[in-house]
Amino acid sequence: MKLLFTGASGFLGNNVRPLLEEVYEVVTVGLSEQDDYNINIAKEVPQLREQYDVVLHAAGKAHSVPKTEAEKKVFFDVNLQGTKNLCAALEKAGVPKAFIFISTVAVYGCDYGENITEEHPLEGVTPYAMSKRLAEEYLQKWCEEHHVKLGIIRPSLIAGPNPPGNLGAMISGLRTGRYLSIGGGKARKSVLMVQDIAQLVPLLAEKGGVYNVCDSNQPTFHELEDLICQQMGKRLPFSIPYWFAKSMALVGDCLGKKAPINSLKLKKITQSLTFSNEKAIRELGWKPMDVLENFRIK
Instruction: Quick: pLDDT tens for 108-148.
Output: 999 999 999 999 999 999 999 999 999 999 999 999 999 99
Average pLDDT of 288-297?
95
Q: How far is Cα 46 from Cα 57, in angstroms, rounded to an integer?
A: 14
CA terminus-to-terminus distance, the chain: 32
Residue 82 has pLDDT above 80, yes or no: yes
Collapsing DSSP to helix, strand or coil, 90 comes out as helix
Q: How much of the chain exceeds pLDDT 70, in percent?
A: 99
Long-range contacts of 33-40 (CB under 8 A, 24+ apart): 34/9, 35/8, 35/9
- Range in 60-64, 67-71, 226-230, 271-275 the model is least confident about: 60-64
Consecutive H or E run containing 298:
none
- Reference 46, options 25, 30, 24, 33; nearest CA is 30
Please indicate whether residue 265 or residue 176 has the higher confidence score (pLDDT): 176
User: Is 178 in a helix, a strand, or coil?
Assistant: coil
The residue among 61 and 258 whose pLDDT is bigger is: 61
pLDDT value for 257: 66
Using one digit for the tens of pLDDT, what is the confidence trace for 176-201? 988 888 888 999 999 999 999 999 99
61 CB burial (10 A radius; 0-12, 13-18, 19+): buried
| pLDDT of 100 above 70 | yes
Q: 156 φ, ψ to 5°?
A: -85, -160
Confidence of residue 51 (pLDDT cuts 50, 70, 90): very high
Q: Tell me what pLDDT residue 6 has.
A: 97
Mean pLDDT computed over 166-173? 89
Q: For 206-260, write each residue's pLDDT tens digit.
A: 999 999 999 999 999 999 999 999 999 999 888 888 888 888 888 888 877 667 6
pLDDT at 38: 95
Q: Which CATH number fits domain 2-162+188-216+275-289: 3.60.15.10, 2.60.40.10, 3.40.50.720, 1.10.3720.10?
A: 3.40.50.720
d(CA 298, CA 296): 6
How do the domains of the chain map onto residue ranges?
Answer: 2-162+188-216+275-289
Q: Provide the b/e sequence for 222-236 (b: ≥16 CB within 10 Å).
A: bbbbebbbeeeeeee
- pLDDT averaged over the chain? 93
| Higher per-residue confidence, 253 vs 42 | 42
d(CA 4, CA 274): 31
User: Which pLDDT belongs to residue 258?
Assistant: 66
